[in-house]
Amino acid sequence: MGILITRFNSRTVMGKSLRKSLTDIATKIGTKVFNTAIRESIAIREAQTKQMDIFSYARYSTDGRDYKNLINEIINEG
């Protein structure tokens, strides 16, 4: 379906450069980069440590909201 960027930090030069590079690669291989990127957050690591999904552990965390946005993006494309 496309390329999903995870552990993303849009405030860094590296993060911005990564998105641009992945967009260029996606164009070359005939796919896309999802508009939604999953941001770096401690909540996802904590959920993994507790062996829980992010929605049960911290539904309103930044990455919980990001995954929800990704789901909506996928559904709206179909």
Residue 10 pLDDT? 84
User: With pLDDT > 70 as the criterion, what percentage of the chain qualifies?
Assistant: 99
Residue 77 has pLDDT above 90, yes or no: no
Confidence (pLDDT) at 75:
95
pLDDT for residue 78: 66
What is the predicted pLDDT for the residue at 57?
Answer: 93
As a whole number of angstroms, the distance between CA 27 and CA 33 comes to 9
- Average pLDDT along the chain: 92
Prediction pTM value: 0.81
Span 17-37, mean pLDDT? 95
